[in-house]
Amino acid sequence: MHGLMNRSLQSFVEDVYGSARWMRVAEVARLDFTSFEAMLDYDDSVTLTVIDAATRVLRKPRADLLEDLGIYLVSHPNMARIRRLLRFGGAGFVDFLDSLDDLPDRVRLAVPDLVIPTLELAELEPDRYRLRCGATPEGMVHVILGVLRALADDYGALVFLDLADGPVDGAWTIEIAVLSTSFAEGRSFELASVI
């Protein structure tokens, strides 16, 4: 798994629970280092071991932990860059949903060797969508769910998200109902803002 993913997981534990807890996670996972390098690759099994260790150290179910990670990626000040890069997807939440098909390509533009699952959005009826996440590394769909929740909030939209039972053939489905696109103020986004 790409170092960026592992590093995000580490930053999440450090920023939300403190570095002592992260050290404990690294210990339980029996890592022979204490910090992931964002620009290096790691074996997938390392990531899975760290996630397992985190669920034990933080006493949190795996799905909740990963969803919190997704929320953290969009909403934590330390991750402002990721939020900004995602907000380039569109001016409003619906625009953003429409741009999800492009997201894997967009991610590849930024980090050529970072692979994220294919995302296919289908509009079932006005304001109801179904997002199909192609074969994902285990647990990734929960992270995506968290990212979507936090982004809806970021745009000021009121949205219901529901993870359908799955996976079916390795793919997960997220049902999305947009109840209001201007439910709250939303956070501002300047294209040209320099961070």
Partner 1 sequence: MSVVGMQTQALDTLLPMHVLLDRSARIIHVGPAFRRQAGTRSYMGRSALKVFAVSRPADIVDAESLLGAVGRRLHLRLLEGRGVQFRGVLVSLSEDGGALINLTLALSELSDLGGGGLTNSDFSPTDMTVDMLYLIEAKAAAMAESRRLIDRLQGAKSAAEEQAVTDMLTGLRNRRALETVLRRMLADNVPFSLCRVDLDFFKQVNDTEGHAAGDLVLEAVARALNEVTRSCDTVARVGGDEFVVLFDAMTDRTALERIGERMIEKLERPVLFEGRPCRISGSLGTAISTDYAQPEAERMMADADRALYQSKQEGRGRHTIFSPDAPLPVPQLGDLRRAAT
Q: Which of 60, 90, 104, 171 binds partner 1 (CB under 8 A)?
A: 90
| Site for partner 1 contains 190 (CB under 8 A) | yes
Q: Are 103 and 116 in contact (CB under 8 A)?
A: yes
Strand 119-125 versus strand 172-180 pairing type: unpaired
| Site for partner 1 contains 20 (CB under 8 A) | no
**Nearest to partner 1 of 183, 189 (CB atom):** 189
| Site for partner 1 contains 81 (CB under 8 A) | yes
Tell me the torsion sign for CA atoms 66, 83, 16, 4. positive
| Site for partner 1 contains 41 (CB under 8 A) | no
| Site for partner 1 contains 37 (CB under 8 A) | yes
Q: What is the rounded distance in angstroms from the CA atom of residue 25 to the CA atom of residue 181?
A: 39
Q: Which of 23, 48, 58, 111 binds partner 1 (CB under 8 A)?
A: 111
Rg of the chain on CA atoms, in Å: 17
From the list 18-26, 36-44, 149-157, 175-183, the region that binds partner 1 by CB under 8 A is 36-44
Amino acid letter, residue 119: L
Exposed/middle/buried for 25, CB within 10 Å: 0-12, 13-18, 19+? buried
| Site for partner 1 contains 110 (CB under 8 A) | yes
| Site for partner 1 contains 40 (CB under 8 A) | yes
